[in-house]
Structure 1
Amino acid sequence: MDTAAHPTPHRTVKLNDAGALIAAIPSLMGFHPVDSLVVLAIKSSGLIGLTTRSDLGPPPLHAALVGRLVRPMQQVEAVAAVPVVVCAEAKPEHKDLALRTVAALEGVGLSIVHALWTPSTAGGVPWHCFLHEDCAGEVPEQSATELAAVMTYAGAVTYGSRDDLVRMLEPVDTQRMIRLSGLLDAAIRCDETPASEHLATMSAAVTAGALPTTDEELVRLAMALADYRVRDACLAFVLDRQLSAVAEKLWLELTRCLPPPERAEAAVLLAVSRYVHGDGAMANVALEHAQVALPVHNLAGMLRGALDYGLPRDQIRQVLADAAADARIEIEEETKMPG
């Protein structure tokens, strides 16, 4: 399930009707969803507190799909919700799914403003409401909406599809990745570098703001992140307003260049960074890459739970800050131990 929190806390944009809500989905999610159930959670303030997206799936899986929606809505203290089925054709099974979603959300006290169907989130397509026969209209052009203008000004990018996000993290050079795998295997076998030096390597790379270009640099950074204490200490960069954007570019580059399982550490840092900055779609994609590279990964597992349950970002920030502080203390204590 992809989730996106309120992306622009510095500006409020009014969405006047159901068509405007549908047109807002790509800006909120970061991409145009296809064959998806999207649910927009609305808080008592009238703001959209969370946007979730799940693949439609076959009818036997609909009960499980709907069941996963309830907890995130409660976590953001939503008071209302708008389910939207995005699919080329409005089939009877999609209406059943929408009504099942309505029943589940009403069952936990949410009011349902609309339950919508649209073939896509592109402008000019029709939409209608499953709850009211006379409730229908046309989705406005996204590029003409105020929300799209605000998001563009803020530097946000809307991708054509989720697959475009996936491709962003794919390896840039498979042959180089294979070569790096061999170099890492050899280096790790004889590595006796203390965690403090590994952390200094990562800190220097982030503060320098320059991406690694040589195999040697990539191996050195990969070995540093392979120490879970160093990786956890790097969570502090995610929370640093001055360094988070620079650090995120480094995590992205390492995710694209490093082989498994080492790329998992960079991918999970990228996922954490995107999640706390409100980009749930990229966070999910990065997390998927991390879990493929290293299926059993404690931090990835924790983040998966946070994404699935829609934990508030403030709560996640505190967890990250505590983990980073604990890791630094552990590294400092190690340096004090007699050699």
Structure 2
Amino acid sequence: MTPTLTLRNPADLAAAVPYLLGFHPADSLVVVGLRDATVAVVQRWDLDADALGLAAAITEVLGRAPVEAVLLAAYGELAAVGPVLERVRDRLPVPLLAAVRVTGDRCFCASCEQCTPPDGFPFDAAASPVPAEATVAGLTALPDRDSLRAQVAPVTGPAARTMSRAVDRAGRRLTRLIQRAWDNGVRDGVPAIRAAGFLAVDAALAAGRRGVRLTDEQIAWLTLLLQSLPVRDRAWESTDHEAWQLSLWTDVTRRADPELAAPPATLLAFAAWRDGNGPLAGVALDRALAADEDYSLAALIRDAMLRGLPGSTLGRWPNQRDLSQRDLSIRRGRFPEPDAGA
């Protein structure tokens, strides 16, 4: 069921935005696009950008998204918020229903001059009924964006060093797998990689369904083989929005070697998007694109989210293709190919 929040005044809008984002924003402009009275797009923008450039970027996003009206909520000092709000209001391609500015503990209506006094009115989100409605609806608001990013941040310290060693062992295992294929006359080793990858994906999904946490060896082997697109697609076509899938891909994303994080982070983003959890999907996509800025599936999902498309849009249609050598995006420098003379 789609959560329902009732907005009665500017303060309710300001109190609702953190629950739509998943965290409490600061020095930000939040754009809420509506379609059929339902939230279709929620985008947060930093206020440290050039006002005119930021207005142009927001206008471009809204022009591509199927929205009928917009709500704006700005958080920060008037000197930073005012120019951006003015530019954005002037360039909106759809009607503006309401705009609010929160500065410190004061709230202002930013769409007219009659709703609030010149110095605004005291703002206490806890005094609004919106947080209670949001909590009942299953929505949460973390203290800040860093708290949300921490949910997908890579492990550090001993856990990271242990995983790095596991990946080295997985790399040697992969080399042996390819070598055996060469010894058997299969010169590219790709069918063997595909078969091993399918087994690793199926085993990971089975463990996740049972609530069993993967070992470091399993994650190292899985994330290495997920670099092959058909193996990644095997996982993609089996990923939906069940809670265990979110838990599985969150754990794999966090523990993955940073260089191998793009596929599992993208699968996490897909699962979160399908679940309607846009904030988690957004930070997972950040993690994926930080690992590989050209990772096409992550870019595809991000573009769909920016357009306000629902998570059901992609369905289960990964790009099934015959596996070719270019599909195997393994880090060749770290994991040597078999002896060419074998």
Question: How far apart, CA to CA, are the structure 1 residues paired with 2:15 and 2:247?
Answer: 29
Q: Does 1:310 align with 2:298?
A: no
The match for 1:254 is 252
Which of 167, 171, 174 is the aligned partner of 2:150? 167
Q: Report the residue type matching 1:199 in the other structure.
A: F
Identity %: 25
Contact 1:275-1:283 at 8 Å conserved across structures: yes
Which of 86, 96, 109 is the aligned partner of 1:99? 86
Displacement of 1:311 in angstroms is 4.2
After superposition, the Cα gap between the structure-2 partners of 1:115 and 1:15, relative to the gap in structure 1 and judged at 3 Å, is: closer
Q: Name the SS of the counterpart of 1:322 in structure 2.
A: coil
Q: Report the residue type matching 1:22 in the other structure.
A: A
Q: Does 1:33 align with 2:25?
A: yes
In angstroms, what is the RMSD of aligned CA positions? 2.6
Q: Which has the larger radius of gyration?
A: 2
Q: Does 1:86 align with 2:75?
A: yes
Contact 1:84-1:117 at 8 Å conserved across structures: yes
Displacement of 1:194 in angstroms is 4.2
Displacement of 1:141 in angstroms is 2.9
* Matched positions, count: 302
After superposition, the Cα gap between the structure-2 partners of 1:178 and 1:83, relative to the gap in structure 1 and judged at 3 Å, is: same
Contact 1:260-1:294 at 8 Å conserved across structures: no
After superposition, the Cα gap between the structure-2 partners of 1:277 and 1:75, relative to the gap in structure 1 and judged at 3 Å, is: farther
Contact 1:177-1:258 at 8 Å conserved across structures: yes
Q: Report the residue type matching 1:207 in the other structure.
A: A
Q: Does 1:18 align with 2:10?
A: yes
Displacement of 1:155 in angstroms is 3.9
Q: Report the residue type matching 1:141 in the other structure.
A: A
Which of 135, 138, 143 is the aligned partner of 2:115? 135
After superposition, the Cα gap between the structure-2 partners of 1:270 and 1:15, relative to the gap in structure 1 and judged at 3 Å, is: same
Displacement of 1:128 in angstroms is 0.8
Displacement of 1:270 in angstroms is 0.9
Displacement of 1:156 in angstroms is 3.6
Deviation digits for residues 196-218 of structure 1, max 9, x if unmatched?
A: 44223322322333344433222
After superposition, the Cα gap between the structure-2 partners of 1:228 and 1:143, relative to the gap in structure 1 and judged at 3 Å, is: farther
Q: Report the residue type matching 1:115 in the other structure.
A: A
Displacement of 1:130 in angstroms is 3.0
After superposition, the Cα gap between the structure-2 partners of 1:149 and 1:238, relative to the gap in structure 1 and judged at 3 Å, is: farther
Q: Report the residue type matching 1:301 in the other structure.
A: A
Which of 270, 273, 280 is the aligned partner of 1:272? 270
After superposition, the Cα gap between the structure-2 partners of 1:304 and 1:51, relative to the gap in structure 1 and judged at 3 Å, is: closer
Matching of residues 119-268 of structure 1 within 5 Å? 119=103, 125-136=105-116, 137-142=121-126, 145-146=129-130, 148-172=131-155, 173-192=159-178, 193-209=192-208, 210-239=211-240, 244-268=242-266
Deviation digits for residues 227-266 of structure 1, max 9, x if unmatched?
A: 2112122223333x5xx32122111111111113222211
Question: How far apart, CA to CA, are the structure 2 residues paired with 1:234 and 1:73?
Answer: 32
Structure 1 unmatched runs, 5+ = 1-7, 332-339
Which of 57, 71, 84 is the aligned partner of 1:68? 57
The match for 2:41 is 50
Displacement of 1:144 in angstroms is 5.4
The match for 1:281 is 279
The match for 1:336 is none
Q: Report the residue type matching 2:314 in the other structure.
A: V
Contact 1:19-1:138 at 8 Å conserved across structures: no
Question: How far apart, CA to CA, are the structure 1 residues paired with 2:30 and 2:235?
Answer: 33
| Worse-matched range after superposition: 285-294 or 205-214 | 205-214
- TM-score (normalised: structure 1): 0.79
Question: How far apart, CA to CA, are the structure 2 residues paired with 1:64 and 1:191?
Answer: 51
After superposition, the Cα gap between the structure-2 partners of 1:67 and 1:238, relative to the gap in structure 1 and judged at 3 Å, is: farther
Question: How far apart, CA to CA, are the structure 2 residues paired with 1:269 and 1:216?
Answer: 20
Q: Name the SS of the counterpart of 2:141 in structure 1.
A: coil
After superposition, the Cα gap between the structure-2 partners of 1:104 and 1:163, relative to the gap in structure 1 and judged at 3 Å, is: same
Q: Report the residue type matching 2:294 in the other structure.
A: V
After superposition, the Cα gap between the structure-2 partners of 1:150 and 1:295, relative to the gap in structure 1 and judged at 3 Å, is: same
Contact 1:143-1:149 at 8 Å conserved across structures: no
| Worse-matched range after superposition: 151-160 or 163-172 | 151-160
- TM-score (normalised: structure 2): 0.78
- As a proportion of its length, which structure holds more helix? 1
Contact 2:31-2:44 at 8 Å conserved across structures: yes
Contact 1:34-1:86 at 8 Å conserved across structures: yes
Displacement of 1:24 in angstroms is 0.4
Contact 2:33-2:39 at 8 Å conserved across structures: yes
Question: How far apart, CA to CA, are the structure 1 residues paired with 2:6 and 2:139?
Answer: 18
